[in-house]
Amino acid sequence: MKFPRASGLILHPTSLPGGLGIGDLGPEAYKFVDFLHRAGQTLWQVMPLSPTGYGDSPYQSLSSFAGNPLLISPEKMAEEGMLRKEAFLHPPSFPKNRVDYGKVIEYKIPVLKDAYHYFMKNGPQKHREEFQRFCEENAEWLDDYALFTVLKEIHRGAPWSDWAPELARRDPDAMAAARERLHEEIQKRKFIQFVFFHQWSALRWHAGERGVKIIGDIPIFVAYDSADTWSHPELFHLDEHLRPTVVAGVPPDLYSETGQLWGNPLYRWDVMAQDDYTWWISRLRALLKMVDIVRLDHFRGFEAYWEVPAGMPTAQKGRWVKGPGLDFFEKVRQALGDFPLIVEDLGFVTQEVVELREKIGAPGMKVLQFAFDGDPSNPYLPHNYDRISVVYTSTHDSDTARGWFQDAISRKTQKRVLDYIGCGDESEIHWEMIRLAWRSVATFAIAQVQDILGLDNEARMNVPGTLGGNWGWRVLPGALTDDVAERMAHMTNLYGRANRPTKE
């Protein structure tokens, strides 16, 4: 699929200002879309929008299909008659610059659950009918997800493999009894999901009206403690006790002597191939209802993935195992058509990975921070790009542009960067990195919001391989000014990426 030359920003909704301790799908999300429009941007990239589990990572979700309840805006609910405004008038004090997930969950989830009774009695008839249709149309994943979350709460957050054996193994009689006994609690979870998708749909429509397309992220792997694994254990390498036999990771490299042990269960691709990857196709189809462009995380894993025996303390002892390869993408496109796709082809990239990406015709990623090792043939240097690529000033897994330049590289590398850019001034290195990306031949150029604001590593979103302190960064109120928008619009127009080019 051909993409027009364009640019945009990465900002996960949790990082928006406003809301109740966390960015949400309320007024500030609409303001951000309007900011993108004023800044001449046509792309908004988000991370997975799924409910997060242990560690608050959007890449370790409780479900591949569900939406994150913490992103729901009570303010929007009240505007539409789904919630009494008094229900959230006296929240606790939350920090403005970071998300305190524990505090947000403790306050917000009860507010959303309690709204169910009000909605069923007083909610607008059209929304109650819409809720019923939502439940029917999404029953394939919603029924299991809602029951999973209720049972997880009853078991005090324990992983599903530690539940009562008849529930862990999904005994039909036990499942039927649980659905009947827990009916009202299950309906509350379904209602929360309905509200999330109702609000996200409205926000996406607003973005479309402003000429902004949303890039949505789909991780290759799912969490072990998820509704996905619990409801489809036959699709994963699990033992007779339903525990993983092998798990995902990446091998040691220049950045990690022990590799990265992710711990996700690995797919039985042979089983998935027998029904032409139906589960994966359902997953992609669900995402395509939410976003305009799909970013496929850890693309190299579809060619070959690093398999680590379960129980290993690090990812050092593992092996490469062939993935589903071209067959997977052919079956997906037969089912879904030629949908817009970009792939995260970073890490240990072999010629086979490059050939697979070229065969499916999807743009890969170029991260400027990987470019300055002194080798003029480095594929991340802009003069080596081809048009079918997406260039980033930084990503959610890297330092910010300013933080990287100031603290993560040597003075020798700093001089190399400035020499390549043709700039002797370090004071606005973030804008120079943006300029370098925007003027490249890459089809898409994307920056984190942290980079247009010139923030250092205190604003970093995630440090891979670490737990705690990640995923919490937030934009301060008022930071995205008209001056910043004007500067972005000028540069975007200058390099032919604007949504409404003008002559100056």
Q: Are 359 and 262 in contact (CB under 8 A)?
A: no
How far separated are the first and last CA of the chain, in Å rounded? 32
| 425 among known catalytic residues | no
CA angle 304, 305, 307 (to 5 degrees): 135
CB contact set of 330 (below 8 Å; sequence gap of 6+): none
**Residue among 100, 276, 397, 456 flagged as catalytic:** 397
Contacts (Cβ under 8 Å, ≥6 apart) of 319: 306, 307
DSSP 99-161: --HHHHHHHHHHHHHHHHHHHHHHS-HHHHHHHHHHHHHTHHHHHHHHHHHHHHHHTTT--GG
Helix 139-154 × helix 183-209 angle, to 10°: 130
User: What is the Cα gyration radius of the chain?
Assistant: 23
Q: Which residue has the tokens 């926000």?
A: 203
Report in angstroms the alpha-carbon separations of 26 from 34, 52, 105, 111, 261: 13, 19, 17, 16, 36
221, 307 Cβ separation under 8 angstroms:
no
Residue with tokens 């301060």: 476
C-alpha 295: how far from its chain's center? 9
Report how far residue 51's alpha carbon sits from residue 46's, in angstroms, rounded to the nearest whole number.
Answer: 14
Q: Which of 47, 44, 50, 49 is nearest to 31 (CA)?
A: 44
Torsion angles phi and psi, residue 369, rounded to 5: -65, -15
Which helix (H) or strand (E) segment holds residue 75: the answer is: helix 74-79
In 3D, which of 183, 153, 109 has the Cα closest to residue 163? 153
143 belongs to the catalytic site: no
Of the residues 344, 345, 432, 451, only one is catalytic, namely: 344
Of 297, 327, 330, 456, which is the active-site residue?
Answer: 297
How far is Cα 97 from Cα 103, in angstroms, rounded to an integer? 14
Active site residue 297: yes
Q: Identify the H or E element spanning 390.
A: strand 389-392
d(CA 329, CA 470): 32
Query: What sign results for the dihedral spanned by CA atoms 295, 134, 147, 335?
Result: negative
Known catalytic residues?
297, 344, 397
